[in-house]
A and B are shown apart, each in its own frame.
Chain A
Amino acid sequence: MAKKQYQLVSCTINGKAVEQMVDVRASLTDLLRNDFRLTSVKKGCEVGECGACNVLIDGECFNSCLYLAVWAEGKHITTLEGLMGPNGELSDIQQAFMDETAIQCGFCIPGFIMTAVEILNRNRYYTDEELRKLLSGHLCRCTGYENIFKAVKKTMLRRLGRLDDPFLTT
């Protein structure tokens, strides 16, 4: 058997600087789930198709299953747990998913929400077609896509101050 290979990784996870020895064979999903117990990061397909393991790395979305843990060196990583307010409050996008019942089994939701965070952080308006394309890297087998779309669109409209948009009353 080949000799085991470990490496020290220093990065920031959900705003906190951390150091961790990792097996070089580990994916970022392995690191986040096994070493930091961030279980919002789901193991779905593990080949980059389903988006359940999606996290933000320096503000961009990546499927953490296709990202080596050692590549996290020096990066800022945000998972769903990082959206929580100081007293355990939900963020606006999480609340919107609840209000729209954009959740059934919940497995795909953390990944979807992190993609939504990347989209919403750009603070710009997207058409329905653009939004659907931006959300297309996730599979929901409960097929709740319509409600997920509504939750993201409504949060976008609210953040942009378009409070009289008729879509908000649908």
Chain B
Amino acid sequence: MYDMSALYEAQSVQDAIELRLAHPDAQIIAGGTDVLVQMREGKRAGKALISIQKIDSMRGVSLDEEENLRIGSLTSFTHITNDPLIQRYINVLGEAVDMVGGPQIRNAGTIGGNTCNGVTSADSASTLHAWDALIEITGKNGIRRVPIHDFYLKAGTVDLKVEEGEIQTAILIPKASYDRTFGHYIKYAMRNAMDIATLGTSVNARLSPDKKTFERVRIAFGVAGPVPLRATRAEAFINDKEVTLSNIEAFGKMVLEDINPRDSWRASKAFRQHIAVESAKRCLMESVTLAGGEL
């Protein structure tokens, strides 16, 4: 038995909004792999829950009329990894979420829950930051879209307004973001399974048509700060530069100007900085290869 005071089950998005307005103190629960664990630990003990698990319209991946990739917030990690649209347009996202927890957790856990938690170590978060994902939020006044960078307010807090009855309903990858773009993700952790990232690095690159120049490189880290963050100075440095190993080397070093990792029991700041530089280089080298470039 879980120590919950009440359970409200939404059958539709509209239902969820009304329940949220009626019970502003209740916690939203999707896949349950975080909320139920926290409830067991006592952190959310005694709370009421609003379950959105049964809203099947919030599952699945599709292309909208503007060819943006639309990922329903309740899509499980396993279904993202196995989805043909994801494999075609943003394979790295499927690879990143395939490193969450273990197989059963990936069957239950959802990408919406992963991002609404607001934690910096979420395996989907750095890739979604690196691809300029848009968060679709639905509330009593309709739908609004927020860049994922603005969605993360601070560690553990995201931009969902309870008084507006808001829930996250989808994550969008704009066509301008995924077009001709290839990326790679490195999760550095002590174990391969059932572990939280010491550092997560996601890089993607679009090369010029002759594959000689970096047209657009984007890089984001998880666990390099209180929320996932982009290394904008390193990006500005490498864009429009030639595709060479020495430029990639310099790019790797540049990320230290952007990130601010902390000492924790998982790893020291110095070690996180070391793996940030190394991962940035390796991710970019892999992205170049995937984009058809040569080094």
Q: Which residues of A contact B (CB under 8 A)?
A: 2, 5, 23-27, 30, 46-49, 51, 54, 60-63, 65-68, 70-71, 73, 115, 133-138
Give min CB distance, A170 to chain B, whole Å: 24
For A64, the closest partner residue in chain B by CB is B104
Q: How far is the CA of A65 from the CA of B3 in the complex (A)?
A: 14
Q: Are B107 and A48 in contact (CB under 8 A)?
A: no
Find A133's partner among B4, B6, B193 (CB 8 Å cutoff).
Answer: B193
For B31, the closest partner residue in chain A by CB is A66
- Interface pairs A-B: 7 shortest CB-CB: A137-B102, A136-B193, A24-B7, A2-B5, A25-B1, A137-B103, A137-B104
Contact-size category for B: 20 to 34
Q: Are B108 and A67 in contact (CB under 8 A)?
A: yes
Q: Are B102 and A70 in contact (CB under 8 A)?
A: no
Q: Is B117 interfacial (CB-CB < 8 Å)?
A: no
For B106, the closest partner residue in chain A by CB is A137
Q: Are B40 and A2 in contact (CB under 8 A)?
A: no
Q: Which residues of B contact A (CB under 8 A)?
A: 1-7, 9, 32-33, 36-37, 40-41, 51, 53-54, 78, 101-105, 107-108, 192-194
Give min CB distance, B205 to chain A, whole Å: 27
For B194, the closest partner residue in chain A by CB is A49
Find A115's partner among B53, B104, B108 (CB 8 Å cutoff).
Answer: B104
With contacts A68-B51, A70-B7 taken as known, whether A134 is within 8 angstroms of B2 at the C-beta atoms is: no
With contacts A60-B78, A68-B51 taken as known, whether A136 is within 8 angstroms of B7 at the C-beta atoms is: no
Contact partners of A60 in chain B: CB under 8 A: 78, 107
Give min CB distance, B3 to chain A, whole Å: 7
Contact partners of B2 in chain A: CB under 8 A: 25-27, 68
Q: How far is the CA of A121 from the CA of B129 in the complex (A)?
A: 36
Give min CB distance, A9 to chain B, whole Å: 12
For A115, the closest partner residue in chain B by CB is B103
Contact partners of B101 in chain A: CB under 8 A: 48, 137
Q: Are B102 and A136 in contact (CB under 8 A)?
A: yes
Contact partners of A137 in chain B: CB under 8 A: 101-105, 193-194
Which one of A24, A27, A134 has the highest number of Cβ atoms from chain B below 10 Å of its Cβ?
Answer: A24
Q: Are A25 and B53 in contact (CB under 8 A)?
A: no
Contact partners of A134 in chain B: CB under 8 A: 103
A–B complex contacts, Cβ < 8 Å, 27 sampled: A5-B7, A24-B4, A25-B1, A25-B4, A25-B7, A27-B1, A46-B40, A48-B36, A48-B101, A48-B104, A61-B107, A62-B108, A63-B105, A65-B36, A66-B33, A67-B32, A68-B32, A68-B51, A70-B9, A71-B51, A115-B104, A133-B192, A135-B103, A136-B103, A136-B194, A137-B101, A137-B104
